[in-house]
Structure 1
Amino acid sequence: MSPEQPDALYTLLDQNGAARVTEPPTLSLIVPAYNEAEVLDELHRRLTAVIGGLGVTAEVIYVNDGSRDATLDILYRLRAADPRVAVLNLSRNFGKEIAMTAGLDHSRGEATVIIDADLQDPPELIPELMARWSQGYDVVYATRLSREGESVLKKLKFLSFIQPYHNISNHEYARILVKAY
């Protein structure tokens, strides 16, 4: 089986095309990506800078959600250049939630951060998220103070996910409010 032609829902391979086996890292970054070829190099540059400043071991799991542009080729190139990178390749576009779930299924870190590939949310917030996690919070998330330009449906979708989760879980939460970027 070649990495370009997965025969399963997804494949998780190291830079040599073999199953990835290393010690579990402190931090897993999960990055769902759909047709994000134009921003991946900049995203990875910024993620690398953030990881370098944290002083922890990390893995970056990019989840290609059936992209039709050069996203997968770029992810393979990033994986070849950076041993912290793993690539999950979904066999077709399943949507962001399935891509996030696939990444979570394969994350091995003590802490996991999910970040969109489109740079809508700045990777430079990750140290603040990790600081709150280090204080003992089970769940840390950031919320933009302003969600200008987003549809009412998208705002409701976010609220319909986060509020019920708060209500049914017994986790300690830290919420970080950030300005829109």
Structure 2
Amino acid sequence: MLNNVPTGINRMARNVVMNHPNAMNCEVYRKTVTRAAPDTVGGLPTMGGLGVLDSMDEEQYEYAFLGYGHALPAEGFAPAPMVKRGDANIGSGEEFRFLIEPEEPSGHQDWFDVRTHDVMYLLLGTGDTPPKMAFEVVGIETTSNIPPFTTRYITNRRNDLDLFSQEDYANSQDEAPDEP
């Protein structure tokens, strides 16, 4: 009975994110490890990479496309420095919070769940190659204490993965497989 509250909140949050005028289209990619660990070391079976605690520590990886979604900035306003022209702010820090919803509903074959280290590209236009700003999910937080939890995603900017021009798109196709 008590879990009806967060279930309703999650349903309502999905509806808000999908229809909000400030929500942006996004693409989500998941880091997958391409390194093949040896099956044995000294005749004994191995259980993964030695000294690797998290996929963040891996050197050989690539990003696999998970699907399309919608992202809505979900943080309270904080004072931030203005640009010299006085028509925009620079932002108050390196950490951003988003509500992220897959385009397809839960149970659909194209539905996905967002996890830590996933990369989200905000699509800043339309067409075949719109400008894309990259954010990496570094944490997940909840706003309720009752399962199923209502989630917000803490992200950091990934300027190294941004795709703003045709040249960026061309370079991303030519680079090593560790770039999306």
Query: Into which bin does the TM-score normalised by the smaller protein fall?
Result: under 0.3
Greater share of residues in strand: 2
Greater share of residues in helix: 1
Specify the structure having the higher radius of gyration (Cα).
2
Instruction: Give the TM-score normalised by the residue count of structure 1.
Output: 0.26
